[in-house]
Copies of this chain bind each other. A is one copy, B any other.
Amino acid sequence: MAGSLPAHETQVRVRYGEVDRMGVVYHGHYLVYFEQGRTELLRSLGVTYRAVEDAGTLLVVVDTGARYYLPARYDDLLTVSTRLVDFGRIRMRFEYEVSRDGDRLATGHTVLASTDSEGRPKRLPADLLERMNSL
Q: Which B residues lie within 8 Å of A29 (CB)?
A: 28
Smallest distance from the beta carbon of A72 to chain B beta carbons, Å?
12
In chain A, positions 27-74 with a C-beta closer than 8 Å to chain B are 27-29, 31-32, 35-36, 39, 48-50, 53, 58, 60-68, 71, 73-74
Q: Is the CB of A39 within 8 A of B75?
A: yes
Q: Is A125 an interface residue (CB 8 A)?
A: no
Smallest distance from the beta carbon of A126 to chain B beta carbons, Å?
21
Q: Is A92 an interface residue (CB 8 A)?
A: no
Smallest distance from the beta carbon of A57 to chain B beta carbons, Å?
11
Known A65-B65, A71-B119; 18 more pairs at CB < 8 Å: A16-B26, A16-B39, A17-B32, A17-B35, A19-B21, A20-B20, A22-B53, A22-B58, A22-B60, A27-B64, A28-B28, A49-B74, A50-B74, A53-B74, A60-B68, A61-B68, A63-B65, A65-B66
Give the B-binding residues of A (Cβ under 8 A): 15-17, 19-23, 26-29, 31-32, 35-36, 39, 48-50, 53, 58, 60-68, 71, 73-75, 119
